[in-house]
Structure 1
C-alpha cells in the first residue's frame, strides 16, 4: 500500500512531538517524583516545558528539513533519545558531559554487560519503530526557494513559542532548574547534544595537546637506602564505603582484611562520581576544585614517581587508565590472550597477580633497584552485572540479581550481588598482601587501596553512578581507603598502625591521594603538600619535603645497579 505523502512541516511537527512527549518520559517522571505536579501551577509548568521542548526540537529539525538531511538527522535524534531514555528511566542517571565521556570510553565488555531485554524493548519502542514509520512515510518537499521560506517561518514561529512559554512560566521554571539541577540533563535529546558538544570542545578549551610537566625537581630522600621500597597501589572500582565491614557494615564483607592489621579510613570521599572523572583527578596534584577549573592539563602522580627514579608499572583490568599511565610501562591484562580467569565477561581481578615476579624482572633494573610502584586497576564492583564480579565459589550472599536490568530485580538481590563483589575484592586484596609478604626479605612493602567512586544500589530509585557531583548522593562519593604496611616499611617511615587507626575517622578525600603517596615513597618535590599527606602526622621523621630540591645525581645509577633487586 502506497502511503500518502506528507509535508515537511507535518513531518517536523510529528517527529519533534514524539521526541518531546515519549522521548522525555524520564523528565516527566522526575518532575512528578519531585512533587512538582502536585498543584495546578505544577501542571501549567509541565505544559510549558512540553511546549518548550517540542518547539525547540521543531526549530532544530526545521533547519534540516531538506530531502537529503531531514530523515537522517531525525533518525539520529530518535535513537539518541531512545538510548538516553532507557538509562535515565532504568538507572536514574542523567546525560551530562561526564556520562558522555563514560559512554565514549566504555569498552566491549562493559557495553555487553549493559545489554538487556528491557533496553532492547525501550530502544525498539522509542527509537526504532518511529524511525521505521518516518522512513516509510514519503515527504513532499517544495522547490528550494519556497522550502527555504517555509523552514525559516517554522524556525521563527517555534522560537517564538519557546520564548512565550519560557516567559509565561519563568518563576516556577527557574525554581525547578535552580533546586533540581539534574533536571536540565534529562531534557532529551538536548542534554545529549549539549554534553557531547562540551566534551568535543574540551581539547581546544584546555589545550590538551600541551601537557604541562610537574615535579621536575623530584628525587628520593632515601636514595641511598640499602632496601628498596615496593608499594602496591590498588585502584578500586565502584566500591562504596558503606558496604565494607571494616567501616561498620553489618555484613561481613571484608573478613580477610580484618585479620591483616590494615587501617581503614572511614571518612574518605571521591573526586568524582565516575572513573573518567575521578582517576585523572586523584592522580593529579590539584584538588577537586582546582582540577575542574584547570585551564590546561598536567602530568600526574606516576610521572613524578618515575622522574624521581623509581620503576612504575600499571596493570589494568578495566577499560583503561584515562591517560594517567600513558607515559609509564603499562599492561592491559584483558588483552593478554593467555590470561587466566577471563571469559566473555572479562577477567576476575586475581589475574593481575599472575606472573608479577616476571613483570618486575622486566622493568628497568636501575630503577627497580631503587624501588617499584605497582598500580592495579580493578574490575572491582563494576555494574550493573555485579554477579559477574565474583566467582561461584565465593558467593556468600544469595539470591543474587543476575540481570543487567537492576530495576527488574528485588533490591535485596541487587545488594547481595554487590556485596559478593566487595567480598571478592577483600579476597583479592588479601592475596595481594600475601604476595607482598613473600618479598619482605628483599623490600619494604606496603599497599594502599582506594576506590575511584561509589555506587547507588536503588536508594531513591537511583542505580549505578555518574550523577553530577553537586547532586549525587553520598553513596556515589563515599569510598573505602585501606592501608597495609609491613613491619619493615613502618620502621623505614617511623610510622605505626596505631597512630593511623586514631585518625581513621578524619575526613579525607582524593585531594590527599597524590601527596600521601609521595610521602610514603619519601619523594622530595616542590609540588608535594605536607598538609594533604594523610600519613605525615604519623611518621616520626616525615621531614619537610615541600621545598624544591636539585635533581638527583644520575651518576649514582651505576652504583644502584648493584643494589638488592626486588
Structure 2
C-alpha cells in the first residue's frame, strides 16, 4: 500500500473522496435526471459539487477521526454510506430527521421486509473497497501534539478548499439548492449523520414540552329514551393512497365489496398530516390541526383521552408497530401471531381481519359502566405497508398477477409492483366490509359506525420514487392524498341527525384533511367540549 495511505491525512483524504464520488451515486444520478442539467456547465457544476462534498467530509472526519478513533470512525462512515446508498438507490427516498426517526421506530417485522439480496451487493460495492484500505492501512503512532497539528491542518485545508470552490461555483450551486431542496438530503453519509445529530442534540437545547390535559369540560349529550349508546370503530389505515381505490374512480376494481355497501361515503379529496406513521398518527388524533400541531409549544392529550374522559369505553387494537404515543393512556392490545388462524401465515404475517377474531370478548372485558356510555374501538392496520406488498393479501384475493415478490421494488416491473399493491387494497376492502358485517351482526340493535382514514399515501415508482416519508413540502401527491371512508348504520344516522346521502352530495366540493378528524369524531359521538370546532366537523353541514 502506498506510504501516503499509511498516514491519517492520506487516509482521510482518500475516504473523503470515495464518499463524495462513488458513495454518492444516488445524488449524481438524481442530478443527471434533472431536465435543467446538461452541457459543459453541468459537468463543471458536478465537479465543483463533488469537491464541496469531499471538503465537508474531510472537515467532519478531521474533527471526529483521530487517534484510536481514526479507523473506527472511517469504517462507520463508509458502512453508513453503503446503507444510505442502498435505500436511496432502491426506493428513491431521501434521508432526513423524519426518515431516521422512522428507522429508529421500525420493528423487526418491517426490517425483514426491507432486506434484499441487493443490500449486501450494494454494501460490497459502496463500502467494500474503502473498508479494505482502512483495514490494511498501517498508521504509525503519533504524539498528541503532532496528531493535533495534523488534524487542524486537515480541517483548515479542507475549509479553505471549500470556501474557494463555493466562491467560484456559488451561482449554479445556490440555484440548484434553491430549485431542488431535496438534493441536500441526498448527500451521503452526511445526511444520516446530520439527521442523527439533530435528533440527539435537540432535546439538550429544547426543554421538554409541558404536557396539558384536554377537554376537561367534555360531557356526553343525554340519549333519548329509545336510544342506546353508540359503537364506533375507527380504523387507522396504513400506507394507502386515495388514487388506487375504485371507490374514487380508479380504473381497476380494488374495492368491489365496499362499492356494494349502502350508507357509505368515500372522500375524493382528503389529505394527510404527514408522510409517515410517526408524523401523521399523533397529528390526526390531535385537536390542533397540522399547522397548530407542528408549531405547538406544549404537548396535549388527544382525541382518545377526551373520549375516555367523557366516560366511554375505549380500546386500541394494533396490527402494526405501535400507536406512536396516541394510546399511552387507554387500554391497548397488540395483535399476536396465531399459527392456527386462517389469517396468519408461517412467516409471522397476519392479515388485518385477524383483529376481528374474539373481538366481542375483548370488548366485553372493558368496564361495564363505560360500555354503557358507548364504545370506541380503534384498529391500527398493517394495511398496504411496503415494500413487501405481496404479503398484505391472502392468496384467494390476489386478482392482479403477476406480483412483485421482492423488497427491491426497482427490480420488478411497474405492473407487478402495482399488482401487489392493488391486491393489498383488495384485502383492505375485504377487511372493512367484514368490520361492517361484524357491527351489523354483533350490535344490530345499536347505533354503529365505521370510519377508515389512512395515515399517509405511497409512491409506487412515479419519478423513480418508492415508499413514503419524503419531507412534506416536496413530497408528491401520492404520499399525501389519502382515502377517507365513512359508514353509518341507519340508527347511527338517526341518532346523530347526520346524513350520508347529504355527505355524498357534497363530496366533490369537500376538501378535507386530518385536521377534520378530531372534530368529526367528537361530533358523531355527540360529545360537548370547548375543544370541538364545528367548522372542522365533516358532518356539521349535513346534520339536521
Q: Which category describes the TM-score, using the shorter chain as reference length?
A: over 0.9
2-structure distance, mates of 1:436, 1:212: 35
Pick the aligned partner of 1:536 from 528, 531, 540.
540
Secondary structure (helix, strand or coil) at the match of 2:266 reads: strand
Choose 353-362 or 170-179, whichever is displaced more. 170-179
1:322 aligned residue: 324
Give unpaired runs (5+ residues) of structure 1: 541-566
2:6–2:140 Cα contact (<8 Å) kept: yes
2:77–2:189 Cα contact (<8 Å) kept: yes
1:165 aligned residue: 165
2:277–2:455 Cα contact (<8 Å) kept: yes
1:154-183 deviations in Å (ceiling 9; x for gaps) = 101111111121222222111111111111
1:387 aligned residue: 390
1:544 aligned residue: none
1:218–1:304 Cα contact (<8 Å) kept: yes
Aligned pairs for 1:167-182 (under 5 A) are 167-182=167-182
Work out whether 1:216 is the aligned partner of 2:216: yes
Aligned pairs for 1:453-492 (under 5 A) are 453-492=456-495
Pick the aligned partner of 2:381 from 372, 378, 382.
378
Secondary structure (helix, strand or coil) at the match of 1:326 reads: coil
Count of matched residue pairs: 540
Aligned pairs for 1:400-439 (under 5 A) are 400-439=403-442
1:516 aligned residue: 520
Secondary structure (helix, strand or coil) at the match of 1:475 reads: helix
* Deviation of 1:337 (Å): 8.2
* Deviation of 1:440 (Å): 3.4
* Deviation of 1:214 (Å): 1.4
Aligned pairs for 1:302-321 (under 5 A) are 302-321=304-323
* Deviation of 1:204 (Å): 4.9
1:13 aligned residue: 13
1-structure distance, mates of 2:338, 2:530: 39
Distance 1:224 1:499, change over 3 A: closer
2-structure distance, mates of 1:202, 1:316: 30
2:234 aligned residue: 233
2-structure distance, mates of 1:439, 1:25: 57
2-structure distance, mates of 1:319, 1:301: 20
2:500 aligned residue: 497
2:337–2:349 Cα contact (<8 Å) kept: no
2-structure distance, mates of 1:2, 1:157: 22
1:312–1:329 Cα contact (<8 Å) kept: yes
Secondary structure (helix, strand or coil) at the match of 2:418 reads: helix
Secondary structure (helix, strand or coil) at the match of 2:126 reads: helix
1:26 aligned residue: 26
* Deviation of 1:71 (Å): 1.0
1-structure distance, mates of 2:430, 2:75: 48
2-structure distance, mates of 1:529, 1:131: 58
1:9-59 deviations in Å (ceiling 9; x for gaps) = 111011111111111111111111113530222222211211111011111
* Deviation of 1:202 (Å): 4.4
2:277 aligned residue: 275
Distance 1:523 1:322, change over 3 A: same
* Deviation of 1:229 (Å): 0.7
1:246–1:258 Cα contact (<8 Å) kept: yes
Work out whether 1:368 is the aligned partner of 2:393: no
1:480-509 deviations in Å (ceiling 9; x for gaps) = 000000010000011222101012221111
2-structure distance, mates of 1:354, 1:346: 15
Q: TM-score, normalised by structure 1?
A: 0.92
2:99–2:469 Cα contact (<8 Å) kept: yes
1-structure distance, mates of 2:140, 2:407: 44
2:246 aligned residue: 245
Give unpaired runs (5+ residues) of structure 2: none
1-structure distance, mates of 2:95, 2:203: 20
1:146 aligned residue: 146
* Deviation of 1:2 (Å): 12
2-structure distance, mates of 1:330, 1:223: 28
